[in-house]
Amino acid sequence: MKKENKIILVIIISALLISTSIFLGFYILKQQTTGKIIDNEYSKLSSKPSDNNLIGKHVVTKIIDGDTIVVEGENLRLLGMDADERGYPCYTIAKKRLEELILNKEVELEKDQTNKDQYERYLRYIFLNKENINLRLVEEGLAVARFYPEDIKYKNEIIDAETRARNNKLGCKWAGGEQTKPSEKIPDSIETSDSISSTNNEGSIDSIDKEDWKELTSENTGLDIVGVCNAGNHIDEGKIVEGKIVDTYRSKTNTIFLNFEKPYPNHCFVAVIFSSDIYKFPENPEDYYDGKIVRISGEIKEYEGKPEIILNNMGQVEVR
């Protein structure tokens, strides 16, 4: 009997041990699973939106200027348009209008191809009640159309909006005449007694002081020379264009615009230096070339109804 009792006792103890192990196993598994769920939920609540998640509905918490805002702590640049920087005539009115439209409101953010610009600002289209706010600012004459090469989702609509605003003289950009820097008076014409050139009936320019030009001449390049205000007659042609830069502008994307003969938007020709090529030119090209008489060479293109040449290097420019 004693031997049988011992056997029974061993069986009971073994059963208890097995039951305890099974119970502990289930308990630990449950705790681990619960912990993972809690950790995952905490992660979702505490993490900031990833680069590709700043789309959809978000609240606008601050307006920096007419094309830059803050959305829940993230800086965001409006795509497809460009409003005035601080110190330019339409800066305040564009900023206030954007505040009226979207400040402290929930908007829909839409991405194009580029997620962020070089300043780490998100690039988005903004919709409020299904209305494109980027487009509206251009329609109201408070901003101009401006595009990154790859971000053109609403390009046609925005360009058409700028054309209508300009033709109907709407908003600060177009109703008030020329866009100039504050306290800066620029003459309506540069046809003064020291003008260096005259234009013949063929649209070519005959320089009075031909000896002033050493590099960009017809003899050296084989290109005809035209006045800047006749450049529009030579779209898709390689030419040397001669004139005076009277207005310059550096955009938020670090693109330099050199406007000829009259200030923007009444200029008759523009030379453009993209940010990737700025290092090839003198420091601060917008200041260096401002007010100078120059010749530039290249293929004349048309952009938004204006002739332009893209400057890729210093060899395309000669200063009188």
**CATH architecture of the domain covering 51-175:** Beta Barrel (2.40)
The answer to whether residue 77 is catalytic is yes
Q: What is the pLDDT of residues 216-233, one digit of tens each?
A: 999 999 999 988 888 888
For the chain, residues with pLDDT lower than 70 are 1-10, 14-52, 176-211
At residue 132, the pLDDT reads 98
At residue 47, the pLDDT reads 42
Q: Kindly give the residue spans of alpha helices, DSSP state H, lying in the chain.
A: 2-46, 91-102, 133-139, 155-167, 171-175, 218-221, 285-288
Active-site annotation holder among 74, 97, 108, 121: 121
Q: Which residue pairs, CB below 8 angstroms and at least 24 apart, start in 20-24?
A: none
197-319 maps to which CATH number?
2.40.50.140
The answer to whether residue 85 is catalytic is yes
Instruction: Please tell me the pTM assigned to this model.
Output: 0.47
Structure tokens at 264: 């923007």
Instruction: Collapse the DSSP code of 97 into the 3-class scheme (helix H, G, I; strand E, B; otherwise coil) and give the result.
Output: helix
Instruction: Collapse the DSSP code of 48 into the 3-class scheme (helix H, G, I; strand E, B; otherwise coil) and give the result.
Output: coil
On whether the CB atoms of residues 278 and 310 are closer than 8 A, the answer is no
Region for 42 from its dihedrals, namely left if φ exceeds 0, alpha if ψ lies in -120 to 50, beta otherwise? alpha
At residue 186, the pLDDT reads 29
Structure tokens at 141: 């004459």
Active-site annotation holder among 74, 77, 242, 295: 77
Q: Quote the CA–CA distance of 71 and 209 in Å, as a whole number.
A: 56
On whether the CB atoms of residues 98 and 73 are closer than 8 A, the answer is no
| Torsion angle defined by CA atoms of residues 34, 40, 41 and 46, in that order, rounded to the nearest 10 degrees | 140
At residue 175, the pLDDT reads 86
Structure tokens at 108: 């829909």
Structure tokens at 302: 């048309």
At residue 18, the pLDDT reads 67
Domain map (residue ranges) of the chain: 51-175, 197-319
At residue 285, the pLDDT reads 92
The answer to whether residue 320 is catalytic is no
Active-site annotation holder among 85, 99, 110, 157: 85
On whether the CB atoms of residues 271 and 296 are closer than 8 A, the answer is yes
Q: What is the 3-state secondary structure (H, E, C) of 205-268?
A: EEECCHHHCCCCCHHHHCCCEEEHHHHHHHCCCEEEEEEEEEEEEECCCCCEEEEECCCCCCCC
Q: Quote the CA–CA distance of 290 and 39 in Å, as a whole number.
A: 59
Q: Quote the CA–CA distance of 214 and 284 in Å, as a whole number.
A: 24
Q: Does residue 265 have a cis bond before it (omega within 30 degrees)?
A: yes
At residue 124, the pLDDT reads 96
